[in-house]
Amino acid sequence: MSQGLNIKNLQSIKSEYVSGIEDRYLPVNRIKGGLSGADSIGQNRAVKLAELAGYPENIDSLFVYFYKGDSFSLLFLGEDPNRELARYCLLDEFNKYFWPELYELYKHCQSLNKIQMRIREREHRDNRERKSVADDNKSRSGNGFSPQSMLNIANILLSCSSRDRLLENYAEYLISTFGMTKVAIFTSNQKDSFTAVRIGKLTESSLKNKELSAGSQIYNLIMDRKTDAVITLPISDMTSENKSDAFVRGQKYTLMSRIYSNDKVAAVALIGDRADGRAYTETDLVYLAGLSNIAGLALDNIARYDLVEKLSFTDSMTELYNYRYFYKRLSEEIYRAKRYSRELALVIFDIDNFKLINDSYGHQAGDEVLKNLARLVLSSARAIDVVSRYGGEEFCVIMPDTGRDSCEIFIERLRKMIAEHEFVVDKSGQPRFITVSCGGAIYPGDGQTIDRLIYCADMALLEAKSGGRNRSLMWSAAIQERVLKNNNATPNENIPENKDES
C-alpha cells in the first residue's frame, strides 16, 4: 500500500458476481462493511477468482473489502502486504470518506474515458468521410465522372450538419477530383459583400480578411442571374483598380462556381487552374454545376435545422432563450468554470406586481412590457452573458467569469436602469414605470450544482421581494437562516444539495 492506488488500473467486476458475493458473505461475515473471517476470496472457495472478470493477477497478499454505500456498492480486491489498508478499514471515519471518494474518482475517470472514446469516434468518422471522398475520385477517368461518385459525394454533403463542415468537404472534393491548384470559398454577409471563410488546411494566408465587395466587377458577376452557376472568369476584362478585382487578378482564378440557398447566392467558390495544366472541359463545368446544386440543397437543410434548433431554444414572445436552453447552458458554464477554476454568477429577477399591469392595462400591454424589458436587459448585458426568460415575468442572466462584487454592482445597476426606464405599452403613448427585484448567487462559493445555484439566486430574489420589492440582494448565510426559520425546515429538507456533480 505504500505505493498508493493507481486509479487508471481500477477495473469493473461483473455485477452478477458482486451480487453473489453480497448474498453469500454479508449475512454471516460482515464487519464494518467488509468481509471478515476469510478476508481473502482465495481462502473461501465460495467464489473462485477465475469467476471475477478483470481480477488483477500476480497478487500474493490479497485483500478483499466490500463497501455498501447509500447509492452504490463497491468490491475492492488489491494487494495489502502489510495489512495497512485492512487496519484502516476497521475505522468507521475512514470508510465514511475514503470509499465514496474513491468511487467518485473512479466515475470521473470513466467519464473521461467515454469523452475520449467519443472524440476518437468523431475522428474516425471524419477520416472515413475524407477517405470516401478520395476513393470516389478514383472512380473518375479522364474528364468524365461516375454517377456512383456523384451519389456518394451527395450523401456526404447532405449529411453535414454545419456550414463549415459542408464547405470544407466541398472544397476538398473539388481539389482532389480535378487536381485544382487552389480553391477559395467566400460566403455572403450582411454588408453587401462576400467574405473569405476558413476551410481547414485549404485556407491560404492571402485570403485572410479578404472580401468581394459591392461595386467591383467580380461582385457584379456573382450577382448576375443571367449567367450560368459555373462560369469561366474573364480575367483579361477585369481591369478595375478595385481591391476585390485586383485580388482576383493577382490570384489568377479561372472559374467561379456559385452556391444558391433559398434562391440567393449563399457562397462562391473561386477556382484556380489544374496542376497538370489541362483546361477544364464542358463536362467538368456540368459536373461542377451539379455539385454546387447539391451543396446548395445541403445549405438549405442546415438552415432549416438551425431554425428548428433556434425555435426549440427561444421564447417566442421576448425572443430570449427559454428555460430549456438556460438549464442546458448553465450546466455547460458550471462545467467550464470548474475546469478552469473560475467564478460564475447567476442572476434571477422578476417584475414587481406584474399582475397589476395586466389587470390595469390588459394582457397585450403586459406582453409589451415583457418585450421591452427583454430588449433593455440585452442592451445592458455583456456579449458573453446569457439572458433567458425563466418563466412568466421572471428572467435570469448567466454571467461567466463574474465574482460577487461585480455581480452585486450589475444587479443594482440593472434594477435602477429598469426603474428609471419609460415603458410605452399602449397607443396613448403614456410612459409607464415598473420595478424589479433581483437575486444573485456565485459558483462555487454559494452553490456547486445547477439546482443549488438556482435555489440560492431564487431565495435571494424572494428575500428582496419580502423586504419591500425594488431591491437587489446577493445570497448569504443570513438569508438561508431566515428561510429555514420561516419554513420550520432543517438544512437538508427540500433544499438542493451543494455537492459537486462531476
pLDDT on residue 203: 53
Q: Is the pLDDT of residue 390 over 70?
A: yes
Mean pLDDT over 378-391 rounds to 92
pLDDT on residue 387: 95
What is the C-alpha separation between 374 and 487, in angstroms, rounded? 33
What is the C-alpha separation between 251 and 181, in angstroms, rounded? 11
Mean pLDDT over 123-145 rounds to 62
| DSSP assignment letter at 209 | T
Question: pLDDT by residue (tens digit) across 301-342?
Answer: 888 888 887 788 888 889 899 998 999 999 999 999 999 999
Mean pLDDT over 233-245 rounds to 83
pLDDT on residue 83: 76
The radius of gyration of the chain's CA atoms, rounded to the nearest angstrom, is: 33
Specify burial of residue 104 (Cβ count, 10 A radius: 0-12, 13-18, 19+).
middle
Q: Helices 147-158 & 92-138, crossing angle to 10 degrees?
A: 150
- Complete domains list, the chain, with CATH: 7-112 (no CATH), 139-311 (3.30.450.40), 323-487 (3.30.70.270)
CA 185 to chain centre: 27
pLDDT on residue 86: 78
pLDDT on residue 26: 32
The larger pLDDT score, comparing residue 452 to residue 131, is at: 452
User: Is there a contact between 473 and 464 (Cβ–Cβ < 8 Å)?
Assistant: yes
Cell reading at 24: 453469500
pLDDT category of residue 21 using cuts at 50, 70 and 90: very low
What is the C-alpha separation between 187 and 153, in angstroms, rounded? 21
Amino acid identity of residue 500, one-letter, is D
What is the average pLDDT score of the chain?
78
Cell reading at 368: 409589451
